[in-house]
Amino acid sequence: MRLENKVALITGGSSGIGLETALLFAKEGAKVVVVDINDAGGQQAVARIKAEGGQAAYYHADVSKAADCKQMVAFAEKTFGKLNVLFNNAGIMHNDDGDAVSTEEAIWDLTMNINVKGVFFGCKYGIPAIQRAGGGSIINTASFVAHLGAATPQIAYTASKGAVLSMTRELAIIHARENIRVNALCPGPLRTDLLMKFLNTEEKKQRRLVHIPMGRFGEAKEMASATLFLASDESSYMTGTEFLVDGGITAAYVTPE
């Protein structure tokens, strides 16, 4: 078991990458705190973990609120005694997020509050808990768009993921001597509800697919496997990295066949 005796907190744990990671972490021996605003989905995730013999608990938190993030970390410590792994995964990609001209300020603020402040608050309250546990691993979900401009405009999302990536680097350096590793998971385009709702026409899907050398969208399970590596001691000499799991999209420009 790669996460035996570890306690992991996963935000956005009711669906997509978060859900698949919660299920995988539990199978690998971790006690998992699933955090979301989708209570039904979060409780279903916990029920699935328990049905498979794992240990998990659900906590309702809006990661854009400092008080909620403080309380979710306190809940993890109270429920399972410590916190070793923090996966700041919760995020949004709003359908009305477009280019700089068309995107409303409210969409920009909402995206930044969840995608950037959510990671900041997770770290603000999670790092002291990980320090109390003697160290651990923090994984922040960034994106390949922190490296490339997106073919379909999503200015607030792209800017937010760039912020997550740069925040990850600084946190990694600050806490490198404290046995705390901080890395960014940078997924490529995935077949998740988050992206498929945004790429809501076949034309939009093909515009994204044509740039992926592997010729397909990634799967949430593939991101969970990458996250497991970053959470486990197998990545013990990795910190401040941009762990790209992107089907090759950032390595090459691909023209239509």
Residue 21 resides in a domain: yes
Q: What are 159-198's pLDDT values in tens digits?
A: 999 999 999 999 999 999 999 999 999 999 888 777 777 7
pTM of the full structure? 0.95
Question: What pLDDT score does 254 carry?
Answer: 54
* Known catalytic membership, residue 125: no
Distance CA 86, CA 6 (A): 11
Cβ contact 34:22 at 8 Å: yes
- pLDDT per position as a tens digit, 3-56: 999 999 999 999 999 999 999 999 999 999 999 999 999 999 999 999 999 999
In a domain, 252, yes or no: no
Is 250 a member of any domain?
no
Cα separation, 41 vs 38, in Å, equals 5
Cα end-to-end span (Å), the chain? 43
pLDDT 10s digits, 88-101: 999 999 989 999 99
Within-domain flag for 2? no
Please give the residue range of the domain that contains residue 127: 7-244
Is position 204 within any domain?
Answer: yes
In the Cβ-directed half-sphere of 139, how many Cα atoms lie within 13 Å?
33
Catalytic hit among 58, 59, 125, 157? 157
Number of compact structural domains in the chain: 1
CATH assignment at residue 168: 3.40.50.720
pLDDT band, residue 253 (cuts 50/70/90): low
What percent of the chain stands above pLDDT 90? Answer: 84
Which strand ranges, in their side-by-side order, compose the sheet holding 136-141?
A: 55-60, 31-36, 7-11, 85-88, 136-141, 180-187, 242-245
Question: Does some domain include residue 251?
Answer: no
Q: CB neighbours (10 Å) of residue 186?
A: 26
Whether 102 is in a domain gets the answer: yes
- 1 assigned to some structural domain: no
